Amino acid sequence: KAGVTQTPRYLIKTRGQQVTLSCSPISGHRSVSWYQQTPGQGLQFLFEYFSETQRNKGNFPGRFSGRQFSNSRSEMNVSTLELGDSALYLCASSAGGLNAETQYFGPGTRLLVL
> Would you say the C-alpha torsion 6, 7, 12, 16 has a positive or negative sign?
negative
Stretch 47-86 residues interacting with other proteins (CB under 8 A)? 48, 50, 55-56, 58
CA distances from 79 to 62, 72, 95 (A): 9, 23, 29
**Smallest distance from the beta carbon of 31 to other proteins, in angstroms?**
6
**Smallest distance from the beta carbon of 112 to other proteins, in angstroms?**
14
d(CA 4, CA 19): 20
Binding site residues, other proteins, CB under 8 A = 4, 31, 33, 35, 42-45, 48, 50, 55-56, 58, 90, 92, 94, 98-108
